[in-house]
Amino acid sequence: MDFVLEVENLSKCFEIPHLRINTLRSAFVNIFRKRTFERFKALNDVSFDVRKGEFFSIIGKNGSGKSTLLKIIAGIYTPDKGSVRVHSSLSPMLELGIGFNPELSGRDNIFMNGMILGLSKKQIYAKFNEIVAFAGLERFIDQKLKNYSSGMTARLAFSVMIHSGKEFLLVDEVLAVGDLEFQAKCMDYFEKAIKEGKTIVFVSHGLEIVKKYSSRVMLLHKGEVLDIGTPDKVIDTYFKKCN
C-alpha cells in the first residue's frame, strides 16, 4: 500500500511554569525564587498512517493534541519520542499567518510564502491572479498584512497553499475563520482535490464536513488515539466518550 504519512509512537511534552512573570516588577520581585514547572503531555504514543489520496480527518476536543500533532508533522515541533515519515511534497496551513510577515503587503507575502513552499517567482506570477481571486482580496492585496482581519489572513494563507501544487496538504481549522462564500470555495476545492487524488490531513471541529469528505477519521482524546475508522464510527465514539 502507498503511504504518504507514517507516524509511530509519537509523544510530546511541554513544560508549563507554575509562576507566570508578565511584568518587570514581577520579574524583580521573584528574581531569587526557584521556578517550578508542570509537565503537560500533549501527545502520548500516537501511531497512525495516511494512504495516498485519502482525506484523513483528525477530531477531538480543544486540548486533545490535534494542533501539536500537525506541527510535528510539518516540522515545526520536534517530538520527544517516536517518528514521522512523510513520503510526499507537503504544504501546511496551520495557525493563522504562520510564515507571513505582518509588515509586508498581501502581494509581498504571496511571493514570500510561495517561495517558502518551493514555487519559483515565475510560477507565482503565473498563479498570482488566481490566488488573489480565490482569497477575495483584490481590493486589499497591496495593504500591509497587519491591517488584515484574521479571516482575510486565513483566506490568503489557504489560497497560497492550495495553489502551491503540492500533493499532500495539512489543514487546521481553515473553515472556522471564513465567511459562507469562502467556506463554499473550500468545499469546492476539497471535492476537486479528492477527484485529483491529493492527500489531505484535515483538523476540524466541523463534524458535518468531516463526515461528508473523510475516507477515515482519527479521534484524539487527552493526547491519545481513542479511535480510528470510518466517519460514522469515530464520530459516534466522540459523542459517547468525549462529552
**Domains of the chain, start order:** 3-241 (3.40.50.300)
pTM metric for this prediction: 0.84
Say if residue 5's pLDDT is above 80. yes
Give the whole-angstrom CA distance, residue 119 versus residue 163: 10
Give the whole-angstrom CA distance, residue 86 versus residue 71: 13
User: 149 or 220: whose pLDDT is higher?
Assistant: 220
What residues pair up with 15 in beta bridges, in sequence order? 39
pLDDT in tens, 79-115: 999 999 998 887 776 655 567 899 999 999 999 999 9
Q: Which three cell numbers stand for residue 231?
A: 466517519
Give the whole-angstrom CA distance, residue 6 versus residue 222: 21
Beta strands 199-203; 216-221: pairing state: unpaired
CA nearest 97: which of 174, 170, 32, 17? 174
Single-letter code of the amino acid located at 147: N
